[in-house]
């Protein structure tokens, strides 16, 4: 049995998507269980190019497990995942990353004993210097490395963290870690970016800056974004469409204004919709 609704952002449109655009990401009846717990229970969705999608729901709804399945960090699932019409189901994470689908995690995964600049420099794919043969021919990789270095510095400037470029990642604040991880991801030139609670652990003073950076990814760089986030004010601000998961299923979709009036959504978050009658009434 599939989810109660089928998510299709290609039909509702997004600011960066052409009318009738094919989906950049498609899931077909994805299911994943841990023992007797059905963490993801028949999710089907289509995401349009350039869309900024919010994925919300109570703790334990299956949101992170769904991103793990899509990005290859969990391959013990049934169903199919497609990117630009090409099936990527159960591929290794690095194989999916090669197709320009990237993700971030609830806890940033930086190389903590490397500088911020070095973290960015390892991100570009297929660097010539990584090959044994090319390493003997300095010119074959040096020019590429210099180009990557320039792009890394430009990326740090774009995300306003040039001042910590030579700092070790272990010395960064929570907000700086988030932005450094995002900057490193951009060095991989993603077409689709999966974000898992990007505002978690970020100080109030840095949340606005992070929101501006995420908006820039979508609007200026046309990156398709699917974001899990519990801070609903940022979901409402950033996302073109919002989808709600509960019990491993998609139960609702729409704007935040619509979802605030949705009885299923209220019950999922509160256990019972306000004003609902009880057996004692």
Note the pLDDT tens digit of each residue in 101-114.
999 888 888 988 99
With a CB cutoff of 8 Å and minimum separation 6, the contacts of 36 are: none
* Helix, strand or coil, per DSSP, at residue 193: strand
Location of each CATH 3.40.50.300 domain in the chain: 7-110+173-179+188-270
Whether 116 has a pLDDT exceeding 90, the answer reads yes
Q: Token match 């007797």: residue?
A: 36
Question: What does CATH list as the number for 7-110+173-179+188-270?
Answer: 3.40.50.300
pLDDT for the residue numbered 84: 93
Is the CA virtual torsion 61, 65, 69, 75 positive or negative? negative
Kindly report the pTM of this predicted structure. Answer: 0.80
Residue 27 — φ and ψ, nearest 5°?
-115, 140
Note the pLDDT tens digit of each residue in 181-192.
888 888 888 899
Please state, in angstroms and rounded to a whole number, the distance separating the CA atoms of residues 90 and 73. 9
Q: Using 50, 70 and 90 to split pLDDT, how confident is the model at 50?
A: very high
Q: Using 50, 70 and 90 to split pLDDT, how confident is the model at 1?
A: very low
State how beta strands 52-56 and 224-228 pair: parallel
Note the pLDDT tens digit of each residue in 204-249.
877 888 888 888 888 888 899 999 999 999 999 999 899 999 999 9
Residue 83 — φ and ψ, nearest 5°?
-125, 120
Locate 9 and state its tokens.
Answer: 């952002």
Please state, in angstroms and rounded to a whole number, the distance separating the CA atoms of residues 214 and 210. 6
Burial class (CB in 10 A: 0-12, 13-18, 19+), 153: middle
Locate 94 and state its tokens.
Answer: 């690095």
């Amino acid at each position: 049995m599939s989810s109660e609704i089928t998510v299709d952002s290609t039909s509702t449109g997004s600011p960066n998507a052409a009318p009738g655009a094919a989906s950049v990401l498609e899931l077909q009846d994805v299911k994943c269980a841990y023992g007797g717990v059905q963490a993801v229970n028949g999710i089907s969705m289509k995401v349009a190019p350039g869309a900024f999608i919010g994925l919300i729901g109570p703790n334990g709804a299956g949101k992170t497990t769904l991103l793990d399945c899509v990005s290859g960090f969990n391959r013990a699932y049934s169903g199919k995942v497609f990117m630009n019409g090409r099936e990527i189901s159960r591929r290794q994470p690095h194989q999916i990353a090669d197709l320009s689908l990237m993700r971030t995690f609830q806890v940033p995964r930086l190389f903590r004993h490397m500088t911020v600049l070095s973290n960015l420099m390892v991100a570009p794919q297929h660097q010539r210097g990584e090959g044994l043969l090319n390493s003997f021919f300095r010119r074959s990789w040096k020019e590429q490395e210099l180009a990557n270095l320039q792009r890394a510095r430009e990326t740090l400037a774009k995300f306003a963290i040039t001042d910590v470029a030579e700092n070790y990642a272990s010395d960064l604040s929570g907000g700086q870690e988030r932005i450094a991880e995002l900057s490193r991801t951009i060095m991989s030139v993603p077409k689709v970016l999966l974000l898992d609670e990007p505002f978690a652990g970020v100080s109030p003073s840095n949340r606005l800056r992070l929101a501006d950076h995420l908006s820039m990814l979508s609007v200026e760089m046309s990156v398709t974004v699917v974001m899990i986030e519990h801070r609903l004010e940022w979901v409402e601000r950033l996302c073109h469409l919002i989808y709600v998961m509960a019990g491993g299923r998609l139960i609702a979709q729409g704007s935040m204004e619509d979802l605030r009036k949705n009885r299923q959504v209220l019950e999922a978050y509160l256990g019972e919709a306000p004003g609902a009658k009880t057996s004692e009434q």
